[in-house]
Amino acid sequence: MASTGVKAEAESAAASAVPESTSPTPSITRPEAKTTKDNVNPLPEESTGIFGAPARPEQRPRGSISIIMAALSMASFLAALDVTIVTTALPSIAAELHASQAAYSWIGSAYLLSYSATVPIWAKTSDVFGRKIVLLTANIVFFVGNLVAGLANGTAMLIAGRTIQGAGGGGLVVLVTITIADLFSLRERGKYLGIVGMVWAVASAVGPSIGGALAQRTSWRWCFYLNLPCDGAAFLVLLFFLDVHNPRTNLWDGLGAIDWLGSLLIVGATLMLLLGLQFGDLTYPWESATVICLIVFSFIGFAVFFVVQWKWARYPLIPLRLFTREVVSVLGVTTAHGFAYIAASYFLPFYFQTVLGATPIQSAVWFLPLALVIAFLAVGTGITIQRTGRYLELIIAALVLEILGFGLFIDFPAYKSWPRIISFQIIAALGMGPNFQAPLIAIQSKVAGSDIAAATSLLSFVRNLSSGISVVIGGVIIQNMMRSHEAEFQQAGIPTSIINQLVSGGGSESSHLLDSLTDSQRSLVLSAETDSLSKIWIFYTCLLFLGLLSGLGIGRTNLSKEHVEHKTGLDAEEANRRAYSKKAVRHSTFDIRQEMDIANNRCPKVEYDGETKVRSETPMLGPPEDGNLSKFVNMVEAIEYHNLDRYQDVLGQLPVLQCYTHNVLAFALPENVARERIIQDLETAVETVKAKVPWLGGRVINEGKTKGNSGVYKVVAWPAPEKTIDVKDVSDQLPPYVELKRRKFPAPLCDPKLLAPCSCFPLPFVDSDEDPAYVVRVQASFIDGGVLIDFAAHHIMTDGIGLSQFSRLVAMAMGGEDFSDDLLHRANLDRRNLIPLLGPGEQLLDHSHNRRPTTIAPGAWWWKMISTARLRHNTKLTVATKSKFSRAADGRRVLGLPEEYMGDTVYNISTWLTLGELRDAPLSTIAAALRKRVDEHRSAYHVRSFATFVSREPDKSTITYVGAFDPETDVGSSSLLGTRAFDHFGPVLGTPDFVRRPVYPSPAPPPAAVPSILVLHPRNLDGDCDGVASLVDADLAMLNRDPRWSEYVEYIG
């Protein structure tokens, strides 16, 4: 059996000739779909959903990627360089500007304070205005800060410049990371984040050397002037080469969307905390009111900030939904790593200089084993993640090595031991290196694409805050440990003034104090300092162990190679807000508890003894006291929706419909969303739809079936299933999503045994399926890089068009759209008298004529091609052999029913021609035969007549849609061309790439697709339609010899 994709034109262009298009794609195209304003699914250029069109970095030239990465790396390098470049230049700066001791410390800390506090604001601003414009703005702010600092004529101006620098630097670092996430898939971005991580490590390592050299050889001002041309070059490259989504948000609208209260609170709380920690025991005592108030009010500020994010912020800086178990575990790892890394960066040089007597330059050289290994591992980690798709193992292994390394630091002696200095640092660096990038990949894999910026900024914020707190805690530990040796110092005869400096500063100034001491006194002080340092290494080792325990809570997530660029702007922000609203779907005018109780089968008792009875203690409702009659009518109608007898229609009484109709929607798996999140969102949406459209939550039963009487099919309330949706992992049975998409999802791969929660048709086509049967079933089947969602509905209750309405309602629920009262009215229409039956004086038709369908042109072409091929290769057939073309037709339009009506209105149209006529007649003649007697009045009468025919027949099991079907001569068509199925399923799934119906199984074993059935799928967002069919090998071999066939048809599997 082979699967083919058929391409033909719409009816308006193909009445008389074969389509002229030569594009070998498996789609049926409406030429006007992309060029007119009256399309079936008109969409503006930017309305492709939150994720938008796929960004394909593989289509960018390598040179372009290299240039962009060079600019991003340069921006990151400059921001990292400015953290450390002034450390060795501070003496020269202080001497020239006559800086006080307080100003001296502020020159260094002003950068870090504004750097840490502004990170979340930059990230959220980029969500509103777009990455590029905000990244360029951060470049400008950083440039201005450097210019002000370089031109500073006093400490106040220099500190102001450093503050502006820090604000820009914080934006550069976080936006570079976010932009890389926008440019590359989760699997690919590890490599590029590794490059940036290496650049960061190198900048941090060489910063002190560059600063000292510039201050000594030229002027300290070049520490800032040096950044100007480099930052300017990066700005120009990003301006002309960076191609990410630009929402073109209006300035005032965008500013109005920023959470200014939250921004003020988080900046204020961060600054108060860091200032309180910096002031403690340096500017003011720890027990002073200033320090206590700063720290206490910082915690109050953070608490109020999170309340604002929870209750009032329309577009929060840090959405509380981010704090899932796995994200909190990642943050735990980041906190431990942030504490440990800054401790190594700060206290290892402290050990080298104060205990081992190294100069600042020597200290920088001795620190290289750790710095260089971290730099190389940053790139190595990224490449490993790219090649293996694994990050969890790296995080855990790195934490184990980090614990080992810091544990070995405890054994540092009070003398030079080069094997220990080098080897211990290398072991610790092997642990620290991977945990710069791996946790970032981990947190991005745990959140939706729309939350990437917020999650990235949250991780950066936690890392920066941890670093600031870590240095203070380490200093306090050393200070307290030195105080514990105060009595020993006194007994050794060390002068009181030196003892006070040693215990108050933790020994930070001890290098010059030791010169005045005797050898025994010096040895005692060095021993005390070594002991104090060992205690901080014990503290950080224990903290890293807690980080390891936290890391065990991080689960694995598939890192997809497929990448869809996140769209920014207010539309995306609003869609994201609605999608995560706690009340995503609600009534527009009322809320009724009884409706939810019945839908969820909690309070009411349901019995069945010939009819459905819903018991409830809810009193009889009367008109409202406030006189709001419209509200009362809506409420009464909503309660009436639970009277399931109203959903018993005429055309749903055919036993042949005791089966399920299916639609499979194929989605690329969002690379940063866990499967559990998709399952949870889908389950919530399905339950929401069932609550609003109660009959969808019921089961189909048959009542009164006897010999010669097929009985009555009806839907009844039933306890909810144990699971809302079925979930499977079929990655071992199906190829990866990338391959499936490349092959255009051929019919043989759309196996209902794998993808469907229940069978399509019973084998044979009789009433043999489960009874009673749930009205709707949903299955999510995960493959590598994708998820295939099968929506199945019992054919007694709905048809293919109605099934598409069900999936659309699910899409609306996942996208956070409200269900209007009018929409709910249409979905819950009383079916009992929708199709008026013929009266006594009206004659039944023979039901052999045709109604004008939307698929005449492709159907006529299909029929002609297949019949011609069969006549050539099948010697049993003659030109006089009759061939039947059977089509399922939708009666909604001709009956005047709304599109949202979800009952059965399908009836069958059959047309007969001889194989000779089909071979010799022009396409226009075949199309004319298919159009015979198809005006709307006769079509409506046909539906009414067929419904009357069904209602009068006591044993409806003798009635089928198609009748006898000979696969050697007959062909068929099943079409969803007139419905819409490419809906946006919210920020998690986006829009499906494919819609497929599982193959129709033939009754003859082994189960296979029914040959010669052309399945026309819904038009996609471009207006194209995939027509997929299955053929026997003999038919396909003959068709491949016909040049017209290869011109319009593509073999897809």
Cβ atoms of 740 and 734 within 8 Å: the answer is yes
Per the structure block, which two tokens stand in for 943? 């539906």
Q: Which of 824, 976, 835 is nearest to 900 (CA)?
A: 824
pLDDT at 382: 86
Three-class DSSP category at 905: coil
Identify the burial level of 622 via C-beta atoms within 10 angstroms of its C-beta, where 0-12 means exposed, 13-18 middle and 19 or more buried: exposed
Three-class DSSP category at 60: coil
Name the phi and psi angles at 1015, rounded to 5.
-105, 115
Per the structure block, which two tokens stand in for 761? 């048709």
pLDDT at 534: 92
Cα(811)–Cα(803) distance, rounded to whole angstroms? 12
Cβ atoms of 1026 and 994 within 8 Å: the answer is yes
pLDDT at 560: 67
Sheet of 1013-1016: strand order equals 906-914, 882-890, 971-975, 1013-1016, 1027-1031, 2-6, 1049-1051
pLDDT in tens, 202-242: 887 777 778 878 877 888 899 899 889 999 999 999 998 88
Kindly report the pTM of this predicted structure. 0.57
Q: Looking at residue 326, what DSSP letter applies?
A: H
Per the structure block, which two tokens stand in for 561? 């190679």
From residue 807, give the alpha-carbon distance in Å to each of 77, 91, 600: 49, 69, 20
Other C-beta atoms closer than 10 Å to the C-beta of 244 total 21
Cβ atoms of 598 and 614 within 8 Å: the answer is yes
pLDDT in tens, 290-349: 989 999 999 999 999 999 988 888 889 999 888 988 999 999 999 999 999 888 888 888
Residues of the chain under the 50 pLDDT cut: 1-3, 6-58, 506-508, 582-636, 763-770, 847-855, 933-937, 1002-1007
Runs of H (alpha helix) within 760-845: 800-814, 821-827
pLDDT at 38: 34
pLDDT at 841: 73
pLDDT at 340: 93
pLDDT at 615: 34
Cα(449)–Cα(178) distance, rounded to whole angstroms? 11
